[in-house]
Every structure is written in C-alpha cells, then in structure tokens.
C-alpha cells in the first residue's frame, strides 16, 4: 500500500492541481477552455513537467532543476508574461496612435501580409499594420502611402511584400497614384536607407510618418534616426492590452509563446 501511494503521489498532486485550476475558472465555459488548453501539446507538456517534479527518487539539485525548467516553460508560454513584455515596448507609443496633424506621407515597413492558397495577397497575423494606414488615408490624415520590403523567408526573395501591400490597399479603395512601392529592401535598415533616398527626392514632404507594429517601432525609429530621418511614429498592431485574471491564461499556450518571443526578439534587436 505504501509503495502504491508513493507511485501515485505525483499523479494525485497533478490531479489536485488541475481541480484547483478548474475551481478558479468561475464558470463552466472557462473551465472547458482550461481543459482544452491542458490537453493541447503545450498544456500536456506543462502538466507532465509538473508531475515530474513530484516523482519519488528525484532529490536535491535534480528536483530544483525540474522546478526551474517548469517555471521557465510556464513563463515562456504565459500570455501574462507576453503582455507585460510587449507593454514595455508599446507603451511609449500609446499617445501616437492617432496623428494630431495631417502627414504628407506615411511609410509602412514590410510585413503583415500573407498569401492565399491561390497566391492572392491577404492579411496576415499582423494585418492591422496594413489596415491602419488605409483608415488614416480615408480620414484625410495621410497624403501618400509608401510600402516597402520583400521577403527573405518563406517563398524567397521574389515575394514582394511591398507589392502585396499595395494590392491590398488598392482593393480597400486607395487609388494607385497615392501609393509608392519600394520593393528592393529586405531588412529594416535597408528599408529606411531606401526611404531616406526617397524623401530626399520629395522636399515637399514636411511631415512623414513611420508605421509598423508598435512593438517594433522603437527599434525602427532608432534606425530611422541613424539614417538622419526625423519621422513621426504611427503605431499599429498593439498586443499589450490588459488581461483579466483567469486560470485559462496560467496554462502555457500559443499566444503566450508568440508574444514572449516577439518581445524578446525586439529586445535582442536593440542589443544587436
């Protein structure tokens, strides 16, 4: 009986942990979502790691290592951690969401598009980057829209992000003559170097905005200044909105891994 108890202890502790999460859910609907996340690969790995911590025969440094790995995994997949890290990057740009005066031109850095199975340009995961400039144009707050970039991943260099963006903009009602495509650049630094040359050829542009995901804008503005550009930040694609407390967000999940990685990637870019 004692041997059975020792073998069952990790499972029983994990079962109690799951019951606690469900009890904190507050409703059957949230409880179902918690269960759903727990049986997804990320959730199952999380529970397996939790169970391993309580295995008999694991002692001292080994148990401490398991706890550290489990906590690190919990952090990496936590929506709460993702939102907190993204807020550090995005909060300085909250006040710039809506331009106070009309912009002569607005530069949108490449990204935010995807391709349909038939090869048609479509809004990607960061699609707000594309729709925000169109809204500002339709509100009369932007004169010329500038789109940049080409892909260096996925379909290769022949996939012109600037062209995809331009086609989507035209489909949303922006006239072709109000759009300038800059397809050559592949990186943020190359994009802003090309933008600097374009602006030099348009002395009539007095107020030029720079648009990108809010989390990326700090690094982009720094690169713009290194090119001698004095651009006005126009953020989009905010991802640092507040989350209510819920056990649903305690379970590691895709959103958490995505947001944590996005934020850490930007921090890494700052250091580099």
Specify whether 117 is located in the same domain as 184: yes
Supply the CATH number for residue 158's domain.
Answer: 3.40.50.620
- Degrees to nearest 5, angle at CA 85 with 80 and 90: 115
Helix (H), strand (E), coil (C) string for 138-182: HCCCEEEEEEECCCCCCCCCCCCHHHHHHHHHHHCCCCHHHEEEE
Task: Give the largest Cα separation in the chain, rounded.
Answer: 86
Q: Which candidate, 127, 199, 193, places its Cα nearest to that of 164?
A: 127
Look up the domain containing 59 and give its range. 2-88+248-271
Specify whether 256 is located in the same domain as 188: no
Specify whether 84 is located in the same domain as 103: no
Specify whether 158 is located in the same domain as 77: no
Specify whether 151 is located in the same domain as 72: no
Please count the structural domains in the chain. Answer: 2
Specify whether 232 is located in the same domain as 257: no
Specify whether 106 is located in the same domain as 231: yes
Q: pTM, whole model, 2 decimals?
A: 0.87
Specify whether 62 is located in the same domain as 118: no
pLDDT attached to residue 269: 87
In the numeric block, which tokens belong to residue 83?
């939102």
Residue 162, Cβ neighbours under 10 Å: how many? 24
User: Is 105 inside any structural domain?
Assistant: yes
3-state percent breakdown (helix, strand, coil) of the chain, nearest 5: 55, 10, 30
pLDDT tens for the chain, 272 residues long, are 555 555 688 888 999 999 999 999 989 999 999 999 999 999 999 999 999 988 877 777 888 899 999 999 999 999 999 999 999 999 999 999 999 899 999 999 987 888 888 888 888 888 899 999 999 999 999 999 999 988 776 555 568 889 999 999 999 999 999 999 998 888 888 899 999 999 999 999 999 999 999 999 999 999 999 999 999 999 999 999 889 999 999 999 999 999 999 999 999 988 87
């Amino acid at each position: 009986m004692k041997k059975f108890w020792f073998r069952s202890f990790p499972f029983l502790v994990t079962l109690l942990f799951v019951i606690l999460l469900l009890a904190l859910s507050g409703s059957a609907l949230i409880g179902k979502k918690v269960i759903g996340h727990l049986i997804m690969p990320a959730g199952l790995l999380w529970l397996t790691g939790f169970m391993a911590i309580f295995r008999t025969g694991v002692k001292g440094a080994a148990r401490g290592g398991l706890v550290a790995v489990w906590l690190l995994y919990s952090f990496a997949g936590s929506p709460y951690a993702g939102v907190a890290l993204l807020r550090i990057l995005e909060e300085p740009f909250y006040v710039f969401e809506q331009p106070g005066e009309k912009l002569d031109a607005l530069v949108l850095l490449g990204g935010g598009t995807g391709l349909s199975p038939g090869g048609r340009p479509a809004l990607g995961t960061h699609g707000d980057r594309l729709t925000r400039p169109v809204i500002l144009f339709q509100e009369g707050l932007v004169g010329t829209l500038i789109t940049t970039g080409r892909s260096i991943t996925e379909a290769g260099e022949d996939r012109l992000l600037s062209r995809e963006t331009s086609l989507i903009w035209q489909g949303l009602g922006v006239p072709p003559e109000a759009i300038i495509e800059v397809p050559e650049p592949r990186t943020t630094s190359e994009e802003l170097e090309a933008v600097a040359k374009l602006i030099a050829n348009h002395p009539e542009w007095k107020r030029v905005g720079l648009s990108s995901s809010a989390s990326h804008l700090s690094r982009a503005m720094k690169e713009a200044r290194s090119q001698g550009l004095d651009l006005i930040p126009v953020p989009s694609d905010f991802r640092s909105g507040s989350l209510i407390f819920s056990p649903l967000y305690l379970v590691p999940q895709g959103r958490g891994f995505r947001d944590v990685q996005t934020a850490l990637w930007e921090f890494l870019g700052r250091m580099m």
